């Protein structure tokens, strides 16, 4: 019975974190603890951490943390990819080490050992596919094709030139300051994928999130 209550509390805590992180900025939660928890998760915790480092280590420590942040978040590098793969690998190892001894059991057949591995393998495949696929890089050779595919509406999108790439910017494209390239139907730069998410890899990114 105690284990069941632990699982219930764990589930509720996870739900609170997910809702606060993803939805805490919605107007419906304004002035509620969920909004406060959202601010803490997204900004407050890191700000308190920087203050703590500044008190303990001074400006040198704060600058070191900010340098790591810039390296991980403001330039292409595989750090977050390695961290993600380590999290998945260690978690799967712990689950396999602690739970596989009960499979097969009263509720589960032996096939669950293999389906769990398949589930992790598919997730990793989608992760790597998204990470190393072309998001839809716009360059001088293909820019006219993208302009034809995404015409300007002169309301939200008007004809303009990318000041960095020195080529016309198709509608819905954006220059990624991290990757230093223009991306068609740009959505965002994903640090965990070490790649932009755009026209050509949005489908595999959504498949990864869904999986």
Selected catalytic residue, list 176, 182, 190, 196? 190
User: What does the DSSP assignment read for 46-88?
Assistant: HHHHHHHHHHHHHHHHHHHHHHHHHHHHSS--SHHHHHHHHHH
Residues in the chain: 211
Task: Examine the residue annotation and report whether 204 is marked as an active-site residue of this protein.
Answer: no
> CA–CA separation, 46 vs 192, rounded Å?
18
d(C-alpha 72, C-alpha 127), whole Å: 18
- Cβ within 8 Å of residue 131, ≥6 positions away: 81, 193, 194, 195
End-to-end CA distance of the chain: 31
Strand order in the sheet with 181-183: 137-138, 181-183, 174-176
CA distance 175 to 162: 7
Residues known to be catalytic: 190
């Amino acid at each position: 019975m105690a284990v069941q209550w632990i699982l219930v509390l764990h589930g509720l805590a996870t739900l609170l974190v997910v809702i606060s992180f993803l939805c805490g900025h919605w107007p419906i939660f304004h002035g509620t603890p969920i909004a406060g928890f959202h601010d803490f998760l997204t900004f407050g915790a890191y700000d308190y951490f920087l203050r703590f480092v500044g008190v303990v280590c001074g400006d040198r420590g704060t600058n070191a943390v900010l340098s790591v942040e810039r390296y991980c978040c403001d330039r292409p590098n595989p750090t977050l990819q390695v961290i993600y793969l380590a999290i998945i690998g260690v978690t799967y190892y712990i689950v396999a080490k602690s739970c596989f001894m009960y499979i097969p059991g009263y509720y589960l057949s032996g096939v669950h050992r293999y389906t769990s591995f398949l589930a992790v393998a598919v997730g990793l495949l989608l992760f790597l596919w998204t990470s190393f696929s072309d998001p839809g890089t716009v360059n001088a050779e293909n820019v006219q094709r993208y302009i034809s595919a995404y015409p300007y509406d002169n309301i939200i999108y008007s004809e303009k030139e990318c000041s960095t790439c020195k080529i016309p910017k198709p509608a819905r494209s954006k220059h990624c300051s991290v990757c230093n390239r223009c991306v068609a139907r740009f959505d965002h730069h994903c640090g965990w994928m070490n790649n932009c998410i755009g026209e050509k890899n949005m489908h595999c990114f959504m498949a990864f999130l869904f999986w």
